[in-house]
Amino acid sequence: MSYSHLTQDDRIRLSALKKAGLKQCEIARQLKKDPALIFRMK
């Protein structure tokens, strides 16, 4: 299994997408990351 970390750009996009009201599963799709990774980034 390969692990994927969030880059600084990913973290900025994640923050913006959360502020825009997107659900975590949609954010994961847009960032092309595993949803579990997004759920851990609270």
Domain assignment present for residue 13? The answer is: yes
Residue 1 domain flag: no
Chain Cα centroid distance, residue 2 = 17
Tell me the per-residue pLDDT of 3-25, one tens digit each, with 9 for 90 and over: 568 899 999 999 999 999 999 99
| Phi/psi-derived region of residue 3, left when phi > 0, alpha when psi is between -120 and 50, beta in every other case | beta
Report if residue 2 sits inside a domain: no
Find the domain containing 27 and state its range.
Answer: 8-40
Q: Is 18 a member of any domain?
A: yes
Q: Are 25 and 35 in contact (CB under 8 A)?
A: yes
Task: Determine the pLDDT at residue 40.
Answer: 87
pLDDT at 36: 92
What is the domain count for the chain?
A: 1
